[in-house]
Structure formats: structure tokens, C-alpha cells
Amino acid sequence: MPECRAVESLIAEFASSLGVEVKLREQVSLVPYTTLQAGGRARWLLEVRNTSEFASAAAKAQELGLRVLILGSGSNVLPSEDGVDELVLVNLCRRVEIRGTTYAETGAAFQDVFLKCAQAGLTGLEFAVGIPGTLGGALVSNAGAYRSNLSECLSEVEIVQDAERKWVPPAHLEFKYRDSVLRRPNPPAIALLAVRLDLKRDAPRAIYERARDYQRQRIGKQPPQASAGSFFKNVLDKSLARSLDGLSVSMQEAGVVPAGYLIEACGLKGYRIGRAVISTKHANFICNLGGATATHIRQLAEEAKRRVQDRFGVTLEEEVLYIGNWGAQE
């Protein structure tokens, strides 16, 4: 197995480049690192606690050509039960500073960034309330809610690419609806370290009011069980939206068809495979009732896709990212 040996020796070189206080672990279960609480093991896993550790690890891995998977809170991923062979870097860099400019490291919880900005009278991130991931994961999927997206609030992003640490404009990440260059097939190796945000001023009280309103709407809709949030992206299709009688007028006008609407229309609320279930509260949430396997969760998602395709001729696109060795299921 020459390829395997090569990876082992690259990892050995990578490990020897780390400071003594940083520990590379092997065969680590990813269950506690994901909100779906499912999946196999990471062959190698390293937790990075400050941006200089993070930047050095990312640069060294890029220099060696090692494949890296960066994890924030694991709230938008489903790891295969067969594990993840990439080097997993868990991002625990959480510093947020508001002094003139607003600086936040990508391991900060997106909601904490919102709270600190709100306290300082900066508006724009209210939609982040209730989104459980880190700022880094939010960047990768251009996270959003209530018709706002993170990419609208950015001034600059600090990255490591081609083993070089640098600040780049947001356009470098090619943001679209729930998408960035990091979600495309064969994405470039980019580690997102930090951002500078571009936010407007408002009274903290008005900001909290808006956030509270969003939070109330969320509590009414979101199931309490373990999940990765919306499993599929909403469908942007004006003619489909207009053809659906049950859809609200505002959705029809905006040409937005919620994926949950389509899945529910196929009668799949409450549908189960093993301990994985399509939520009875919100059909775009696949939940783990406790002990669900990653394979069952993915099978459920495939079934929902198949039924929606058959009934509406629409191919749902996953918002959740499948990571690791999915092999034949890919």
C-alpha cells in the first residue's frame, strides 16, 4: 500500500512540525463533534485553539499536500460511518473584538458574534440567532435566514491558501445562496481564519427586538431532537412556486419553494429508517431519535429526494454536507 505509507509519512512530518502543546489524536469518534450525533471516526484529529496554531497547521498541511477537513460545530455535516481519512482540524479559535472594526475568529459561535455586535449597537446579524454553528461553517454555506445572508455583512476574510496567510475580499469566496467556492466539487484548499464585519449602527434595544422576533418564529418551527437544521436547500423556481396553491403569496412572489413544503406534500412527515426520522414538526429536518446511523440518515434523505423528484420533477440539493468515505453511495 504505497499510497497509504506516503500519507502516514506525511502525517508524521506534519505531527513533528506541531508545537508540544498541540496534540494530534488518532481514530477519534466524530459523534460528539456533530449535532446529528452520528458517523464514524476521524483517522487523525487536531484541535486548534488560536489563529497562529490554526494558520501554521493549515499552511503545513497545504505545503505537504495533505487533505484537510476543518470542523466548526459540526452542525452542517454528516460523516460516513466508514470514517474520514482527511486530517480533521477542529477550530476552537473564538476571539471577537469590536474596536473601530469588528474582528471575529471563525471558531466563534455565530450567535455569540451576533450578541457581541448587538451589545455594541451593530445591526445586521440578527438572523444568526438560533443558528448553532461557528462563523467558519456559516461562511462556507453563506448561512442565512429571514432573507439575510452572512456574505452581506462581510468586509474582509482572513484565510490560508497555498500555504500563505492573507486577507482577501469576500468576492474571493464566490458567495451565492447557501453556497461558496468551498462547497463546490473539488474545492480549493482554503482555511478560513477570521473576518472583519461591515455592520450598520442601531440601538441595541431595536436589534434585540428583531432577534427576539426571529427566535420566536424559530422555536415554533424547529424540532427539538438532534439534527443538522434544514437538510435540503429551498428551491428557487418562480414557475413551480406559482403552480403550488398551498404556498403563501409572499413565497409565490419571491419564487421560493421551501424544501420542507415539497417533502411534506409527499407525505413523508414522520417517515423513519431505523432511528432516523423526518420530523413531524418540520419536514426539512431529519432528526436522530438516539442511536441513528449515518447510513440510515442518508438513506432517509435519498428517499425524500427520490419522492420529490418523482412527484414534482425537482432535484433537491443537500444543504448538509456528506463528509468522509461514502464510497458507493456517492
What part of residues 112-131 is at the interface with ligand FAD (CB under 6 A)? 131
Selected range binding ligand FAD among 113-121, 142-150, 295-303, 310-318, rule: CB under 6 A? 142-150
Among residues 11, 140, 154, 240, the one that binds ligand FAD under rule CB under 6 A: 140
Q: Which is nearer to ligand FAD, 110 or 312 (CB)?
A: 110
Of the candidates 232, 289, 216, 198, the one whose C-alpha atom is nearest the C-alpha of residue 76 is 232
Contact predicate 165/79, CB 8 Å:
no
Contact predicate 156/170, CB 8 Å:
yes
Residue 211 sits in the site that holds ligand FAD (CB under 6 A): no
What part of residues 177-196 is at the interface with ligand FAD (CB under 6 A)? 182, 191-192
Residue 236 has phi, psi (to 5 degrees) of -100, 100
Cβ 192 to ligand FAD shortest distance, Å: 4
84, HSE (Cβ side, Cα atoms, 13 Å)? 30
* Count, residues near ligand FAD per rule CB under 6 A: 33
Q: How far is CA 185 from the centre of its chain?
A: 16
Q: Which residues pair with 164 in a beta bridge?
A: 161
What part of residues 221-240 is at the interface with ligand FAD (CB under 6 A)? 222, 227-229
317 catalytic residue (yes or no): no
Q: Of all residues in the chain, what percent are helix, strand and coil, respectively (each to 5)?
A: 35, 30, 35
Q: Which is nearer to ligand FAD, 290 or 309 (CB)?
A: 290
Q: Which of 80, 141, 227, 230 is catalytic?
A: 230
311 catalytic residue (yes or no): no
Among residues 10, 18, 254, 321, the one that binds ligand FAD under rule CB under 6 A: 321
**CA atoms of 176 and 162, how far apart (whole Å):** 24
Q: In one letter, which amino acid is 37?
A: Q
Residue 66 sits in the site that holds ligand FAD (CB under 6 A): no
Contact predicate 231/320, CB 8 Å:
yes
Instruction: State the residues that interact with ligand FAD by CB under 6 A.
Output: 35, 69-77, 91, 106, 110, 131-134, 136-138, 140-141, 143-145, 182, 191-192, 222, 227-229, 321
The catalytic residue positions are: 178, 230, 319
